[in-house]
């Protein structure tokens, strides 16, 4: 017989935390041990599932963008996890390929990076770019080829942006997976990208996923931050995300969900 | 100074005491990332042999980070208690390990010795100790602290109730606090990591926990883990601040990257004490640390991460904290790669902290990109509990839905109490019995609907 949840299980509707689980003696009921194991397996698989960069590039091209595949200097997942420095730099081959593609300066470089969750990129990157497309078109930005990068960390966008002579880089990346959020995508926005930028010089829109920030809301925030970054010629701690304020004043803008994304460096 | 060891046909040389320390460390990814780890298993043992023959006084004569460059070194040197050091002053590091495991190292002798030891001495001897040595020696150390209850008494284990919520929702956080209390957790602190850094939100969280503690007369304390400067502002605004939190590290430069100085910590200590909110004692500081934080900030001076972690405890003890928490597996696999490295680091941190006189708890934890799982956490929790760890975390279902990592749960605390007979802080234990959350033997009473604690909530 399975031990029931605790009598205060109604409180569980107030939080995603695992409360009122019930117990057998001092220990978890079998169903909770298995539910936890499944969540951990999903998060582990999000980290280790090989990144399908070809499929991701194909999905993005279907939107009408040009793409370019790139790799970091981390040759495999084990190296990537141990050596964050290598995940921040382009491989020599990729560097040359990007240099050849960089014909003229552009306003915007966009990088899609696997980061710590290829699952998140597979699930959300193309869809988010689809939502961003009208924002980009409306602003009339010149966009470089969308770079689909494997074994890549956030700072890889600095080198890509520098080579593509971009005023601004937007990097979409699979975030460190949590048990309740194995497929969360983040967007990092950096003005005047070049190797050596610090995280304090970026803005971030986090938690883009089904149960988090919607594509429309994320695209609105990213578009707002990109416009402000190009206008003020900076990103980072000096650029405060006040896109919510603008939404309140503009009834035609897409509505934001109740849970706002958290800006972090 | 050069150090040398000949083993068979090979002579191993080390350029400095810092290099001996780094290469004598059990292998971990953070020291490899820094490029200071031993290049081979034999070099590691050669360095440990050199270290074993090194007198403890070498650490007073040759600070690993120069006195002029670093205020943590200055703090360590300036507060070193020569008289307390005397019983072990003639020993080598190897001899000190033998002494620690001998019958001479009683709880009283260890307590008297603490201020005579520098963090570097503690780190050095830990590198010669196997896991069982770290457990046995730490189990003899007693560090007791007080605010509204008594933490660290022999035979007890306290739990930090960690009711985090991804958007700091007050109802959601209340739900997790009630769940934790009904599971008998929260005697170390009710400690919330806020998602927001807004002072308004943090003030709301402080009032929420203060209301609960007063309404139910819970003999515990609350903390919202925000920067010390925020705590100072909140105190000025009249917010009910029990404990002052700060992340700290083992070098001046790493502390600077956290936005703190020793003077600022002193200011926090004095502001916290000025409120006189503790009923049993005035240990008002709550520090968090973790191996790798100095390297992560580019502030490691070529020193291995375990030694720098011990130096963070040297900082902590100067401010008479209620709680010091090594968040051992949080930083990620580039510093501690897998369960084996996390387990070793957790035992080292606990031993070094206790030996230095800090009330050390451990956040037994891992992230999803580390090669670790709940089985590794069970192992480390069990080992630390046998070693007498001061406190561990209590996160609902071990899943922190705000910080996205796995720690220990309310159930884990029950497990280790059941296994080892560990009690809660006595005042909190009595409160649980009074509210009939526990039975007379300390085990949980059967859960029932309509418990007085839940009235008006569910």
Q: What is the DSSP string of A173-193?
A: EEPPPBTTBTT-EEEEEEES-
Q: Chain A residue closest to B184 (CA)?
A: A26
Could you tell me the pLDDT band of residue B458, with boundaries at 50, 70 and 90?
A: low
- Chain A to chain B, count of Cβ pairs less than 8 Å apart? 149
Are B385 and B157 contacting, i.e. CB atoms less than 8 angstroms apart? yes
Identify the residue among A15, A37, A264 best suited for mutation to test binding to B, counting B beta carbons within 10 A and taking the highest. A15
**Contact B195/A at CB under 8 A:** yes
Return the sign of the alpha-carbon dihedral for residues A146, A150, A153, A155.
negative
Whether the pLDDT of residue B166 is over 70: the answer is: yes
- Is a pLDDT exceeding 80 seen at residue B170? yes
Give the residue-averaged pLDDT of B364-390: 97
pTM: 0.92
Q: How does the average pLDDT of chain B come out, rounded? A: 97
Q: Which residues of B touch A84 (CB under 8 A)?
A: 33, 334
**What is the average pLDDT score of chain A?**
90
Residue-level pLDDT at B449: 82
List, as ranges, residues 145-184 from A with C-beta within 8 Å of B.
Answer: 176-182
Q: What is the mean pLDDT of residues B158-165?
A: 97
User: Does the CB of B445 have a partner CB in chain A at under 8 Å?
Assistant: no
Residues of chain A with Cβ-Cβ distance to B195 below 8 Å are: 262
Q: What is the pLDDT of residue A246?
A: 59
* Cβ neighbours, 10 Å, residue B6: 10
Residue A94 to chain B, least CA–CA distance (Å): 24
Are B175 and A23 inside 8 Å of each other by CB? no
Chain B residues touching residue A15 (CB < 8 angstroms) = 165, 169, 171-173, 175-176, 396, 401
pLDDT greater than 60 at residue A256: no
What is d(CA A111, CA A91) in angstroms, rounded to the nearest whole number?
A: 15
B192-250 tens-digit pLDDT? 999 887 899 999 999 999 999 999 999 999 999 999 999 999 999 999 999 999 999 99
CA A201 to chain centroid, in Å, comes to: 17
Q: Give bridge partners of residue B4 from the DSSP assignment.
A: B13
Q: Nearest CA to CA, how far is B410 from chain A (Å)?
A: 9
Chain A positions in Cβ-Cβ contact with residue B373 (cut-off 8 Å): 40
Nearest CA in chain A to B29: A82
Q: Residue A41: which residues within 8 A CB-CB, separation 6 or more?
A: none
Whether B125 has a pLDDT exceeding 50, the answer reads yes
Contact B179 A23 (CB under 8 A): no
Q: What is the pLDDT of residue A41?
A: 95
Q: Measured between CB atoms, does B165 come within 8 Å of chain A?
A: yes
pLDDT at A121: 97
Q: Is B406 on the interface with A (CB under 8 A)?
A: yes
Higher-scoring residue by pLDDT: A60, A103? A60
- Output the six-digit token pair for B401: 């839905």
Whether residue A18 and residue B418 make contact (CB cut-off 8 A), yes or no, is: no
CA–CA separation, B142 vs B321, rounded Å?
A: 14
pLDDT band with cut points at 50, 70 and 90 for residue B378: very high
Residues of chain B contacting A10 with CB distance shorter than 8 Å = 458
Q: Is the pLDDT of residue A38 over 90?
A: yes
Residue B36 CB neighbour total at 10 angstroms: 20
- What is the CB-side half-sphere exposure of residue B445 using CA atoms within 13 A? 16
Q: Is B454 an interface residue toward A (CB < 8 Å)?
A: yes
What is the DSSP code string of B318-363? TT--SEEEE-TTSS-TTTS-BHHHHHHHHHHHHHHHHHTT--EEE-
Average pLDDT over residues B71-96: 98
pLDDT of residue A242: 78
Place of tokens 């019958």: B103
Rounded distance, CA B415 to CA B435, Å?
21
CB contact under 8 A, B399 and A39: yes
Structure confidence by residue, pLDDT tens digits, B324-353: 999 999 999 999 999 999 999 999 999 999
Interface with chain B: mutation pick from A5, A11, A42, highest number of B CBs within 10 Å: A11
Selection from B364, B175, B406, B171 nearest residue A180 by Cα: B406
Tens-digit pLDDT profile for residues A127-163:
999 999 999 999 999 999 999 999 999 999 999 999 9
What pLDDT sits at residue B198?
86
pLDDT given for residue A259 in this prediction? 33
Q: ipTM more than 0.85?
A: yes
Instruction: Please answer yes or no on whether B406 and A44 come within 8 Å at the CB atom.
Output: no
Measured between beta carbons, the chain A residues lying within 8 angstroms of B175 are: 11-12, 14-15, 17, 19
Q: Is the pLDDT of residue B282 over 70?
A: yes
CB-CB neighbors (< 8 A) of B400 in chain A: 178
Distance from CA of A211 to the nearest CA of B (A): 12
Give tens-digit pLDDT for A104-127: 999 999 999 999 999 999 999 999
Q: Which residue of B has its CA nearest to A43?
A: B368
Q: What is the three-class DSSP state of B31?
A: helix
Cβ contacts of B259 on chain A, cutoff 8 Å: none
pLDDT of residue A249 exceeding 50? no
User: What local confidence, expressed as pLDDT, does residue A248 receive?
Assistant: 46
Of B367, B397, B443, the CB nearest to A18: B397
Q: Which of B375, B417, B414, B412 is nearest to B395 (CA)?
A: B412
Q: Do B33 and A15 touch (CB under 8 A)?
A: no
């Amino acid at each position: 017989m399975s031990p029931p949840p605790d009598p205060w299980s109604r409180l569980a509707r107030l939080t995603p935390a695992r409360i009122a689980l019930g117990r057998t003696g001092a220990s978890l009921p079998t169903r909770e041990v298995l539910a936890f194991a499944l969540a951990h397996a999903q998060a582990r698989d999000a980290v280790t599932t090989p990144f399908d960069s070809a499929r991701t590039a194909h999905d993005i091209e279907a939107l009408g963008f040009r793409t370019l595949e790139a790799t970091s200097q981390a040759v495999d997942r084990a190296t990537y996890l141990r050596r964050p420095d290598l995940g921040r730099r382009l491989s020599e081959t990729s560097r040359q390929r990007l240099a050849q593609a960089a014909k003229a300066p552009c306003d915007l470089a966009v990088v899609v990076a696997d980061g710590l969750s290829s699952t998140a990129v597979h699930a959300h990157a193309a869809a988010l770019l689809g939502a961003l497309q009208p924002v980009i078109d409306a602003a009339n930005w010149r966009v470089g080829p969308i770079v689909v990068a494997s074994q890549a960390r956030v700072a890889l966008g600095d080198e890509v942006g520098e080579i593509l002579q971009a005023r601004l880089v937007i990097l979409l990346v699979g975030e460190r997976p949590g048990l309740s959020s194995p497929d969360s995508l983040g967007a990092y926005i950096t003005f005047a990208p070049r190797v050596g930028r610090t995280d304090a010089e970026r803005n971030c829109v986090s938690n883009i996923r089904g149960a988090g920030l919607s594509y429309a809301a994320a695209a609105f925030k990213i578009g707002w931050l990109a416009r402000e970054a190009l206008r003020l010629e900076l990103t980072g701690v000096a650029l405060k995300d006040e896109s919510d304020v603008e939404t309140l004043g503009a009834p035609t803008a897409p509505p934001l969900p109740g849970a706002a994304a958290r800006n972090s460096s | 100074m050069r150090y040398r060891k000949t083993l068979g046909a090979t002579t191993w040389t080390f350029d400095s005491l810092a290099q001996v320390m780094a290469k004598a460390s059990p292998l971990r990814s953070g020291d490899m990332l820094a490029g200071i780890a031993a290049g081979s298993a034999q070099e590691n043992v050669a360095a440990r042999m050199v270290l074993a023959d090194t007198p403890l006084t070498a650490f007073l004569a040759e600070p690993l980070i120069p006195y002029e460059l670093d205020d943590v070194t200055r703090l360590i040197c300036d507060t070193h208690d020569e008289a307390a050091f005397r019983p072990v002053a003639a020993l080598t590091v190897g001899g000190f390990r033998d002494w620690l495991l001998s019958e001479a190292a009683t709880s009283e002798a260890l307590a008297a010795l603490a201020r005579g030891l520098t963090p570097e001495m503690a780190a050095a001897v830990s590198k010669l100790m196997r896991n069982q040595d770290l457990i046995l020696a730490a189990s003899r150390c007693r560090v007791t602290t007080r605010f509204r209850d008594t933490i660290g008494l022999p035979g007890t284990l306290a739990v930090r109730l960690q009711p985090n919520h991804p958007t700091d929702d007050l109802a959601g956080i209340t739900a997790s606090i009630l769940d934790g209390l009904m599971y008998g957790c929260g005697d170390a602190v009710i400690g919330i990591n806020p998602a927001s850094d807004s002072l308004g939100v943090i003030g709301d969280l402080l009032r929420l926990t203060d209301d609960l503690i007063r309404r139910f007369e819970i003999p515990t304390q609350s903390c919202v883990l925000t920067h010390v400067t925020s705590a100072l502002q909140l105190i000025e605004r009249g917010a009910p601040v029990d404990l002052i939190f700060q992340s700290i590290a083992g070098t001046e430069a790493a502390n600077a990257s956290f936005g703190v100085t020793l003077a600022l910590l002193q200011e926090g200590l004095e502001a916290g004490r000025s409120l006189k909110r503790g009923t049993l004692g005035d240990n008002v500081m709550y520090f968090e640390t973790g191996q790798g934080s100095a390297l992560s900030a580019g502030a490691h001076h070529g020193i291995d991460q375990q030694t720098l972690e011990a130096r963070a405890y040297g900082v902590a003890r100067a401010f008479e904290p209620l709680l010091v928490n090594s968040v051992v597996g949080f930083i990620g696999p580039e510093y501690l790669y897998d369960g084996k490295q996390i387990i070793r680091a957790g035992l080292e941190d606990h031993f070094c902290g206790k030996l230095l006189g800090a009330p050390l708890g451990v956040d037994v934890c891992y992230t999803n990109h580390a090669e670790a799982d709940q089985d590794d956490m069970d192992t480390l929790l069990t080992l630390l509990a046998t070693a007498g760890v001061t406190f561990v975390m209590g996160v609902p279902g071990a899943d922190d839905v705000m910080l996205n990592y796995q720690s220990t749960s309310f159930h884990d605390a029950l497990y280790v109490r059941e296994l080892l007979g560990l009690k809660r802080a006595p005042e909190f234990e009595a409160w649980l019995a009074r509210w009939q959350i526990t039975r007379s033997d300390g085990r949980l009473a059967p859960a029932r609907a309509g418990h007085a604690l839940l009235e008006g909530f569910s």
